[in-house]
Chain A
């Protein structure tokens, strides 16, 4: 099972919106509505920010939103803030004997 493909880095100015793509296959992203997104600050454990493609856990800002089209999922951060500077990972259920497959990770920089 290969890792899902994300851009290595994305940047934006405060207040802007950015979108991170997550490209998978018909065996993972495209087969299940079970894409999740994680935010990780340096030295910290990952934090779930989106699950089931577009749902936000309690307490997560509504500036984070998710979507999916065919084999590609996307995370949009609107109203970019300095605290959003972090690494972001997508993840999909992959079925069979592979439960989860993670994306390659995207470093978000707030200019």
Chain B
């Protein structure tokens, strides 16, 4: 059974940093692209970032480019999202997800971790 468990969310001041983690199990982790998707309170889904199975390729939404960094440790079956220079509008539930195929869909989702950016 595929399981994705996010952690690391919390309250942070504007301009601060936070690192999210997503522990994966139940599938061939090193062969699977992993993505982060966020949802601001009462709003829709927004793709944030994707990292390839090897970790060599990374992709970012324009809204986070230059501030967020996605990485992975295949030995630990974990993907990370380092978030710097956080802004009020980064407040959201952050989900990690992976698909039936790379870049085509997001079949499996974690339960989410809440990031609140506020003074």
Q: Are B44 and A89 in contact (CB under 8 A)?
A: yes
Query: Is residue B59 contacting chain A, with contact meaning CB distance below 8 A?
Result: yes
Which bucket holds chain A's interface residue count?
20 to 34
A46 at the interface (CB under 8 A from B): yes
Instruction: Report B-chain residues with C-beta under 8 Å of the C-beta of A104.
Output: 44
**Given A57-B100, A89-B44, A99 and B50 contact (CB-CB distance below 8 Å):** yes
Contact with B along A88-104 (1 / 0, CB 8 A): 01010100011111111
30 interchain pairs, CB-CB under 8 A: A3-B44, A34-B105, A38-B106, A40-B45, A45-B110, A45-B112, A46-B95, A48-B100, A48-B105, A48-B106, A48-B107, A51-B100, A51-B104, A52-B104, A52-B105, A57-B100, A57-B107, A89-B44, A91-B45, A91-B106, A98-B47, A98-B59, A99-B35, A99-B50, A100-B37, A101-B47, A102-B45, A103-B44, A105-B44, A105-B45
